[in-house]
């Protein structure tokens, strides 16, 4: 190991242009990164990490190399010995900025054992064997579908929308049974599914003055995906959640969810395994979703940060990542404590100076950097009011 290895690394990250991303003047990611949005182009996600679909780059000895390559050559120095041992010499998390102008698919993620089976069975659609617990944290606001409604709320829902109850047929009062029955029925009676969606739409359209948000969403998405998409009816079985800036959701394996609109930071285990069931033109796998549906896939609590000044911590049970927010006033200077594992920082607002024994760098919004485990001490100074997000590995 050379001394020059132990320094902050500026990350060069990739943008994903999925169709549901924001566009034009409303495109959050170009505004964050400080460049004009290309007309008509969708800007959906900024990926920060080592996932092979879009690995970050670093500069090493004057050339750009993959962060994964840097880690593979120096795992203990970059990750720390404990993270290297626990996660097989891999960065265990993937950090993102996500900007949704349109709804993402209704989806769930597998646990580790399920991911291994899915990857072995269908590596084209399940590209790795890892699970994908994730946290989504609203930067301005987030509207989402998150977890199945409670048994009591589902009972009311099926009474309010008898078209859905009639399509599902006889089922128990258990939310998982009701959701599973809807998915199974959509596979065995696709024509009936289309008929029910059309009947429900016709009834709702006759009463425009009294429609609620989920009904408006159903009618709008019906025009995009057609009556044969089971996601249209699944909308009514999931909790509609509105997060304000700073609030978050933790989504464990097997919980159906969909982000509908908003700008967030998101952190997850290093995986791209997504099991989609509706509201998407992409590959859907209803059978796999039924395999992974968690027995406790009910409402998700809204996360609020726990203050550990100057940081705010979002507590989850994930072993791969811990997400924190730092809000610094202009002129604030922090001596960062010694650590034994890797950290990744993303600047959302303001400007900072990062200094260490051998150098200094400045960062502006949209830029990110990695602090390797081998860097003993370093400092950060806020040059103006600043918001930073930090991802580390829980000890």
- Give catalytic residue positions: 276
For residue 380, report the phi and psi dihedrals to the nearest 5 degrees: -130, 135
Strand partners, 156: none
Strand partners, 107: 257, 276
Q: What are the angstrom distances between the C-alpha of 110 and each of 32, 41, 126, 199, 255? A: 32, 31, 10, 34, 9
Which positions ≥6 away from 210 have C-beta within 8 Å? Answer: none
Q: Are 10 and 59 in contact (CB under 8 A)?
A: yes
What residue ranges in 207-351 does DSSP mark as E strands?
Answer: 238-244, 248-251, 257-269, 275-278, 302-303, 306-308, 311-314, 322-328, 333-336, 343-349
Beta carbons within 10 angstroms of residue 162's beta carbon: 12
Which positions ≥6 away from 383 have C-beta within 8 Å? Answer: 330, 350, 351, 352, 353, 362
Residues 16, 62: Cα–Cα separation, whole Å: 26
Q: Are 241 and 302 in contact (CB under 8 A)?
A: yes
């Amino acid at each position: 190991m050379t001394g020059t290895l132990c320094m902050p690394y500026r990350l060069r990250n990739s943008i994903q242009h999925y169709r549901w991303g924001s566009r034009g003047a409303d495109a959050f990611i170009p505004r964050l990164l400080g460049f004009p949005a290309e007309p008509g182009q969708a800007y959906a996600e900024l990926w920060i990490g080592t996932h092979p679909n879009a690995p970050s780059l670093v500069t090493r000895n004057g050339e750009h190399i993959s962060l994964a390559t840097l880690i593979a050559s120096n795992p203990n120095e970059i990750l720390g010995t404990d993270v290297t041992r626990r996660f097989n010499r891999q960065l265990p998390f993937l950090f993102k900025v996500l900007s949704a102008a349109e709804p993402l698919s209704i989806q769930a993620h597998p646990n580790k054992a399920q991911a291994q089976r899915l990857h072995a069975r269908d590596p084209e659609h399940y590209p790795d064997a890892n699970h994908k617990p994730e946290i989504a944290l609203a930067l301005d606001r987030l509207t989402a579908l998150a977890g199945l409604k409670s048994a009591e709320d589902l009972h009311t829902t099926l009474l309010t929308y008898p078209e859905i109850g009639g399509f599902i047929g006889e089922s128990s009062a258990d939310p998982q049974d009701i959701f599973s029955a809807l998915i199974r029925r959509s596979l065995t009676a696709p024509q009936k599914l289309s008929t029910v969606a059309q009947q429900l739409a016709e009834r709702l359209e006759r009463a425009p003055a009294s429609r609620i948000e989920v009904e408006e969403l159903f009618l709008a998405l019906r025009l995009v995906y057609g009556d044969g998409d089971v996601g249209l009816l699944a909308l009514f079985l999931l909790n509609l959640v509105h997060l304000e800036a700073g609030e978050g959701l933790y989504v464990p394996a097997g919980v159906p969810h969909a982000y509908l609109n908003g700008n967030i930071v998101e952190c997850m285990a290093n995986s791209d395994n997504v099991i989609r069931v509706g509201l998407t033109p992409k590959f859907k796998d209803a059978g796999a979703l039924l395999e992974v549906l968690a027995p406790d896939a009910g409402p998700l609590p809204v996360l609020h940060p726990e203050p550990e000044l100057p940081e705010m911590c979002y507590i989850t049970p994930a072993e791969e990542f811990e997400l924190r927010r730092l809000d610094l006033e202009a002129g604030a200077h922090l001596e960062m404590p010694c650590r034994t594992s890797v950290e990744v920082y993303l600047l959302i607002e303001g400007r900072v100076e990062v200094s260490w024994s051998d150098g200094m760098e400045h960062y502006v919004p949209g830029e990110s950097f990695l602090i390797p485990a081998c860097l003993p001490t370093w400092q950060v100074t806020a040059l103006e009011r600043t918001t930073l997000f930090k991802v580390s590995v829980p000890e």
